[in-house]
Amino acid sequence: MDKLVIEGGIPLQGEVAVSGSKNAALPALAACLLTSDRVILNRIPQVRDIGTMLGLVRHIGAEVSVKGDRVTIRAANLEHPEAPYELVKTMRASSLVLGPLVGRCGRARVSLPGGCAIGARPINLHVSGLERLGAEVRQEHGYIEANASNGLQGANVQFDRISVTGTEDLLMAAVLARGETVIGNAAREPEVADLAALLTAMGAKIEGAGTSTIRVQGVAKLGGAEHTIIPDRIETGTFLIGGALTAGDLTVRGCVPEHLRALIAKLQQAGVEVTEPSPDTLRVRVPGRLKNVDITTEEHPGFATDLQAQFMALMTQAAGISFVTETIFENRFMHAQELARMGANIRLEGRQAIVAGPTPLSGAQVIASDLRASASLVLAGLAARGETVIDRVYHIDRGYEKIESKLAGVGARIRRIE
């Protein structure tokens, strides 16, 4: 099992490029199942979750070609409209194929999602949405089985709570349903808008993607398209926080600053100088001491839950008391114990973490519990004195492309060992 070894205390300096968004690429790959024509996707990151999804798409029956960050998929014959447990047990996004398979094939059998142990991601939102469109859905033996032998029918669907994957799954099902589908309380994340852009290029009729109400006029069939995935805003945010945490001067290229306004505002409140040298570039520097800032995770455009762990690491070096409140997932503070092993002063009270700083961080042996927690430990290791060894880094490989080589390129002393 691989580990990352980090010699901390070195400011990150220079420029680092961002990869395509994992969270946008996964639904885009699932959307390729909606047509028998060829779909070309550019800027697909080479991370573990993408490899799992490509394996699933192949299992279902699609032809897949990968050349660097360019993926070509032709799903002419979907012989196995299912997502078996053995293929998707490490990935949360397996449910994203449910909507496309029911929409195109009229049936699907999908294993309940695996992935990070950060709390519930209720599949019931996917299920209730598909039932509103006319599918018969049942759960047994760890699988969701859906059938719509007569096709799906457009309907009004109001989500009880905002769900990104639920919105994406229902959107993909609705594009081939008869009539109009209206999705209320829809997720507004950039990844949802990116999926809608791909589906529109394939011939779908969608209005309102990126807002809380999405309208879809169903079409008889979709065609091929070529699409470039948006930059990864979570990777961008991780690098920005890393530059600030190490008191460096770091420029992040190939990003979309508009996707990160909540983080940028909090960084500036903390005393970080954030500038935009060009439309796709952000630069961070820390001219003075870091100041304590409170954050509460929210759905987009609020502060992203996927950046909460990294920001908590930053607050260990800020002067004063910071309150970090997690509202999206109920079990997303597992990194706090590991940060404490490195010297952080963190007290947990339910869904709130109270961080007292600044406290000197020292290298230690720590364990990554999930994808974003592992990123926070990497950042803490970069700022700590001495050597940090991070175990179970397969978590970070699920969502960060070549993170050690990217960080090494801006001065970090980081290496991977078996």
Q: Which of 1-5, 109-113, 139-143, 259-263 has the highest mean pLDDT?
A: 259-263
pLDDT tens digits for 40-55? Answer: 999 999 999 999 999 9
The answer to whether 3-19+231-417 and 22-228 have equal CATH topology is: yes
What are the residue boundaries of the structural domains of the chain, listed by start? 3-19+231-417, 22-228
Helices 371-383 + 308-315 axis angle, to 10:
20
Which two three-digit tokens encode residue 335? 């990194």
Question: Is residue 122 scored above 80 in pLDDT?
Answer: no
Helices 190-201 + 22-31 axis angle, to 10:
30
SS3 404: helix
pLDDT tens digits for 61-101? Answer: 999 999 999 999 999 999 999 999 888 877 767 789 999 99
In angstroms, rounded to a whole number, what is the distance separating the alpha carbons of residues 148 and 222?
18
- In this predicted structure, what is the pLDDT of residue 114? 52
Question: Is residue 118 scored above 60 in pLDDT?
Answer: no
pLDDT tens digits for 187-216? Answer: 999 999 999 999 999 999 999 999 999 999
Q: Which residues of 100-128 are buried (b: 16+ CB within 10 A; e: fewer)?
A: bbbbbbbbbbbbbbebbebeebebebbbb
Which residue carries 């079990």 as its tokens? 331
Active site residues: 116
Are the beta carbons of 328 and 351 closer than 8 angstroms? no
Average pLDDT over residues 314-325: 98
Helix (H), strand (E) at residue 192: helix 190-201
- In this predicted structure, what is the pLDDT of residue 116? 39
In angstroms, rounded to a whole number, what is the distance separating the alpha carbons of residues 330 and 161?
15
Which two three-digit tokens encode residue 245? 């945490």
| Fold for the domain defined by 22-228 | UDP-n-acetylglucosamine1-carboxyvinyl-transferase; Chain (3.65.10)
Are the beta carbons of 216 and 174 closer than 8 angstroms? yes
Which residue carries 């020292």 as its tokens? 362
Average pLDDT over residues 272-295: 97
Q: How far does Cα 165 stand from its chain's mean position?
A: 10
Whether the bond between 190 and the residue before it is cis, its omega within 30 degrees of 0, is: no
Q: With cut-offs at 50, 70 and 90, classify the pLDDT of residue 124.
A: confident
280-284, 306-310, 330-334: segment of lowest average pLDDT:
330-334
Are the beta carbons of 263 and 303 closer than 8 angstroms? yes
Question: Is residue 334 scored above 80 in pLDDT?
Answer: yes
Closest C-alpha among 80, 64, 61, 17 to residue 43: 17
- In this predicted structure, what is the pLDDT of residue 15? 98
Which two three-digit tokens encode residue 274? 């954030």
Sign of CA dihedral 156, 210, 175, 398: negative
Q: In the chain, helix, strand, coil percent, each to 5?
A: 35, 30, 35
106-110, 253-257, 280-284: segment of lowest average pLDDT:
106-110
Mean pLDDT over all residues of the chain?
A: 94
In angstroms, rounded to a whole number, what is the distance separating the alpha carbons of residues 36 and 12?
46
Question: Is residue 284 scored above 60 in pLDDT?
Answer: yes
In angstroms, rounded to a whole number, what is the distance separating the alpha carbons of residues 409 and 346?
31
Which two three-digit tokens encode residue 349? 């009270």
Could you tell me the pTM of the whole model?
0.95
pLDDT tens digits for 173-185? Answer: 999 999 999 999 9
CATH homologous superfamily of 3-19+231-417: Enolpyruvate transferase domain (3.65.10.10)
Question: Is residue 120 scored above 50 in pLDDT?
Answer: no
Tell me the backbone φ, ψ of residue 99, rounded to 5 degrees.
-60, -50
Q: With cut-offs at 50, 70 and 90, classify the pLDDT of residue 125.
A: confident
